[in-house]
Amino acid sequence: MPAVRRFGVSMSSDLLRAFDRLIKRKGYKNRSEAIRDIVRDLLVRNEWEESDQEVMGAVTLLYDHETGHVPETLTDLQHRQHDAIVCSTHVHMDQHNCLETIVVRGTSRVVRTIADQLLSTRGVKHGGLVSTSTGRTLP
Ligand code: NI
């Protein structure tokens, strides 16, 4: 396990009080735990901005399978990008609505492009991309 280093952080007491209230609501046990998560999040977001880094994304889509050709269009899109598609999960929510989550791997540009294509498919009611790191570059 790598060595743990301590460092001091200066901020106004108002900012610190607001931070303490927030991390308590979010369930953090202490400031160090919260700051570590914030630093990791910043590193992942930075990795995302560098297009040559490999990243991962989870695209979640909600659609009515009886509207247009949504299932066929989404399947065609995934087959065309099969190298980048890791897996997908389909949930039949009720008689009409489907929830699908598609895991995508590649450069941030590739993941963003595939997510945009899936999300802009006509008939998709709602959805979004959660982008993350492969974890390999994170300490
Ligand atoms: Ni379904």
Q: What is the pLDDT of residues 26-37, one digit of tens each?
A: 999 999 999 999
Distance 18 CA to ligand 1 centre (A): 43
- Is 15's pLDDT higher than 90? yes
Distance 66 CA to ligand 1 centre (A): 9
Distance 103 CA to ligand 1 centre (A): 17
Q: What is the 3-state secondary structure (H, E, C) of the chain?
A: CCCCCCCCCCCCHHHHHHHHHHHHHCCCCCHHHHHHHHHHHHHHHHHHHCCCCEEEEEEEEEEECCCCCHHHHHHHHHHHCCCCEEEEEEEECCCCEEEEEEEEEEEHHHHHHHHHHHHCCCCEEEEEEEEEECCCCCC
> How confident is the model over 65-79, as a mean pLDDT?
94
Q: What is the pLDDT of residues 74-124, one digit of tens each?
A: 999 999 999 999 999 999 999 999 999 999 999 988 999 999 999 999 999
Pick the more confident residue, 101 or 43. 101
Distance 104 CA to ligand 1 centre (A): 20
Global confidence as pTM: 0.77
Bridge partners of 124, per DSSP, are 63
- Is 57's pLDDT higher than 90? yes
Distance 101 CA to ligand 1 centre (A): 12
Q: Residue 51: what pLDDT? A: 60
Distance 90 CA to ligand 1 centre (A): 6
Q: Residue 136: what pLDDT? A: 74
Torsion (CA) 29, 32, 36, 37 in degrees, nearest 10: 30
Structure tokens at 34: 């919260």
Distance 91 CA to ligand 1 centre (A): 6
